Each structure stands twice: as C-alpha cells, then as structure tokens.
C-alpha cells in the first residue's frame, strides 16, 4: 500500500494567500488534491498526519486563517474584509 504524501502545512497557507479575496473551502480542497494527490497528509511545527480539515482547524485556532461562510482567508485578507 502506498504511504500518504506528507506535506508542510505552510504550502496550503501559500495557496490561500494567492487568493486576495479568499478562496471557497471546496475549491481549496480541489486545489490541494490536484497539487498533492488524494492521500496527502500534512505536518506543522508540532503536529503530523493531519488531513486538510484538521489542518484548517489547526490554522484557524492559531489565527493563521479565518473561515467564514466557507470562505478561507489569510490574516491580511481578513483585515481587508473588516
């Protein structure tokens, strides 16, 4: 059985930051699957083996992203929306 690809979660933050008005959560899932494959898992500085939903929760709890109405935004994008 093929082992899942382990990707640094910062790569997902880079995808989000390339969308100045935010990105729909569903579209982010699609882009992640296209770029890294369907069996990807993520790591951060203190956790490993996260799926995309767990990674989003991790980043949201730490203020790295905001999620509102299923739109994901980076901190500087969140400031624009205010």
List pLDDT tens digits, range 11-60. 999 999 999 999 999 999 999 999 999 889 999 999 999 999 999 999 99
What's the pLDDT score for residue 2?
A: 58
What's the pLDDT score for residue 77?
A: 52
Count of H helices and E strands in the chain?
A: 4, 6
- Distance between CA atoms of residues 78 and 20, nearest Å: 10
Say whether pLDDT at 78 is over 80: no
Q: Strand, coil or helix: what is 1? A: coil
Report yes or no: 23 and 52 within 8 Å, Cβ to Cβ. Answer: no
Query: 6-81 sits in which CATH class?
Result: mainly alpha
Report yes or no: 42 and 51 within 8 Å, Cβ to Cβ. Answer: yes
**pTM for the structure as a whole:** 0.84
Region 55-72: mean pLDDT is 96
Say whether pLDDT at 82 is over 90: no
């Amino acid at each position: 059985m093929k082992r899942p690809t382990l990707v640094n979660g910062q790569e997902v933050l880079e995808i989000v930051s390339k969308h100045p008005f935010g990105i729909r959560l569903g579209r982010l899932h699609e882009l992640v699957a296209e770029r890294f494959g369907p069996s990807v898992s993520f790591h951060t500085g203190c956790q490993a083996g996260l799926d995309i939903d767990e990674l989003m929760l991790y980043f949201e709890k730490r203020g790295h992203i905001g999620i509102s109405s299923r739109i994901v935004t980076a901190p500087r994008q969140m400031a624009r929306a205010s």
